[in-house]
């Protein structure tokens, strides 16, 4: 009998990282590793790091140190860093953090099992030397599909050592149906799962380092996206969220920039899928046809995760972005004319180099009129290797902190007001969590999300009565109150009455 090998995956950062972790889990399970939830119960703890902003990098380092502590009093024998921070810093991270027994880049993913086995056996796997991954793919998008480059979530095999998936995959592992269809194993039982639509980004926002370590934009083929969605539906998933660095560019390297408009109805038609959500949309790339599909296709959520970042023209140009307050408000008016209940969220950076008080006031004007459901606000800080880090006219830390605090207070107030506007609306809510009677203060507590609420970021729906509700069920409910950005809703209809009767 082969020796028992256990591994735990600790995931930080965005939904794209969650997909990558499930790819790694699929590869490891296919090679005989036993996946466990708690790092303390694992021979190897794999920390999928985030390298986006300073706070995320600190969280990643803390997670690695916490996992390392387990080696003193638990089963854990090795701690390995993967993900964006590991890819971005490589050897530098390995030297600065000797507590990590391995620092693996994206090129190691195809051979993750052998890498972990080497580390677990006391061997050394050299940390990779970081490189600008934009240089690994052709400049022309049309020439990228045939390139042999490691793409997390696409799972191309390493060109020098292709690894075939075993024919007898363990239960719960998705088969790799093509060169870019990854092995995948779910790491939780949530009725929601992310599906990677593409990787990388061709935009050159002056504040963002992501393209340098995630690479240029490359789409997954529609057949692979559909195949993975069908497999997820078989696993009990009811909602899929399409993720990438920029979903509005999907298909440009496949010869059809409107490919998303044709793919969405196909995904919505997959048996078992009740909701399809699209995230990461660029305002400057929004097309009338895409707006139409997002606002009129059954089972496709009228949800717009729009990356505005700011609304003052001078700041946007310094960011190498497009638009202004009035254009953005016109876009929102167009969306809401087609779907009045549409959800809209965005993130913003305050204190960008050269941001004047007038620019700050312009952003406040936009937020006041935009009626966004969710708002993320971040204070500017220099990121290694970005153009903005070289800019002059930097604001002092105190000014950035003051503007951040002011805008965060405003955002909290505005999103609470937007939630109150939804009182009286009837929503289709996907039940995600049910707290049993003996754990809730009064009766059963149930929580879910409506079409305008994405996982983790946009608030939730709190049911007035969770009796008989189960995760994965779509329930019609009427909003009767709010708790900040969260909605309080009462289940409606004959279906709910039947649930109550069945529950006794």
Binding residues for [4Fe-4S] cluster, as ranges, are: 14, 50, 84, 201, 205, 208
What is the CB-side half-sphere exposure of residue 94 using CA atoms within 13 A? 17
Rg of the chain over Cα atoms, rounded to whole angstroms, equals 23
Structure tokens at 303: 């949800």
What are residue 48's phi and psi, to 5 degrees? -85, 100
Cα–Cα distance between 390 and 393 in angstroms, integer? Answer: 10
State how far Cα 481 lies from the chain centre.
Answer: 29
Cα–Cα distance between 454 and 16 in angstroms, integer? Answer: 14
**Residue pair 418/411 in contact by the 8 Å Cβ criterion:** no
Cα–Cα distance between 230 and 412 in angstroms, integer? Answer: 38
b/e string for 383-415 if b means 16 or more Cβ within 10 A?
beebbbeebeebbeeebbeebbeebbebbeebb
Residue list, annotated binding site: 14, 50, 84, 201, 205, 208
Cα–Cα distance between 247 and 261 in angstroms, integer? Answer: 11
**Residue pair 12/50 in contact by the 8 Å Cβ criterion:** yes
What is the CB-side half-sphere exposure of residue 390 using CA atoms within 13 A? 4
Which residues of 75-181 form beta strands (DSSP E)?
78-82, 102-103, 173-174
CB neighbourhood size of 162 (10 A)? 11
């Amino acid at each position: 009998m082969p020796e028992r090998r256990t591994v735990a995956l600790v995931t930080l950062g965005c939904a794209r990282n969650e997909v990558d972790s499930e790819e790694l889990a699929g590869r490891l399970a296919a090679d005989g590793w036993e996946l466990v939830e708690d790092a303390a119960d694992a021979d190897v703890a794999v920390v999928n790091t985030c390298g986006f902003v300073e706070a995320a990098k600190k969280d990643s380092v803390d997670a690695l140190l916490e996992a390392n502590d387990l080696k003193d009093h638990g089963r854990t024998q090795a701690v390995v860093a993967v993900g964006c921070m590991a890819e971005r810093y490589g050897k530098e991270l390995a030297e600065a953090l000797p507590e990590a027994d391995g620092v693996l880049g994206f090129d190691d993913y195809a051979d993750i099992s052998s890498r972990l086995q080497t580390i677990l056996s006391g061997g050394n796997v050299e940390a990779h030397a970081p490189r600008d991954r934009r240089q690994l793919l052709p400049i022309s998008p049309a020439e990228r599909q045939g390139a042999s480059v490691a793409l997390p979530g696409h799972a191309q095999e390493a060109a020098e050592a292709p690894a075939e998936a075993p024919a007898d995959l363990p239960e719960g592992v998705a088969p790799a149906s093509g060169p870019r269809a990854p092995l995948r194993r779910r790491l939780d039982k949530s009725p929601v799962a992310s599906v990677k639509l593409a990787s990388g980004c061709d935009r050159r926002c002056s504040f963002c380092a992501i393209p340098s370590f995630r690479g240029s934009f490359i789409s997954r083929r529609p057949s692979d996206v559909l195949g993975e969605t069908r497999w997820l539906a078989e696993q009990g998933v009811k909602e899929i969220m399409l993720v990438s660095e920029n979903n509005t560019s999907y298909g440009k390297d496949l010869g059809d920039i409107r490919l998303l408009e044709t793919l969405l109805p196909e995904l919505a038609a997959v048996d078992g899928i009740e909701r399809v959500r699209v995230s990461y949309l660029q305002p400057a790339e929004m097309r009338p046809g895409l707006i139409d599909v997002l606002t009129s296709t059954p089972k496709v959520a009228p949800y717009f995760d729009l990356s505005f970042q700011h609304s003052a023209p001078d700041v946007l140009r310094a960011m190498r972005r497009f638009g202004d307050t009035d254009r953005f408000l016109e876009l929102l008016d167009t969306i809401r004319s087609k779907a009045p209940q549409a959800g809209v969220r965005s993130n913003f950076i305050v204190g960008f180099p050269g941001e004047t008080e007038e620019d700050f006031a312009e952003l406040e004007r936009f937020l006041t009129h935009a009626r966004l459901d969710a708002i993320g606000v971040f204070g500017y800080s220099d990121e290694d290797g970005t153009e903005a880090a070289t800019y002059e006219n930097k604001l002092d830390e105190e000014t950035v902190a003051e503007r951040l605090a002011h805008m965060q207070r405003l955002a909290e107030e505005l999103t609470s007001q937007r939630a109150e506007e939804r009182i009286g609306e009837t929503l289709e809510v996907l039940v995600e969590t049910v707290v049993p009677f003996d754990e809730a203060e009064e009766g059963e507590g149930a929580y879910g999300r409506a079409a305008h609420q994405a996982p983790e970021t946009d608030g939730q729906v709190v049911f007035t009565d969770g009796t008989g509700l189960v995760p994965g069920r779509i329930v019609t409910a009427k909003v009767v109150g709010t708790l900040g950005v969260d909605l309080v809703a009462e289940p409606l209809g004959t279906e709910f009455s039947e649930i109550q009767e069945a529950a006794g």
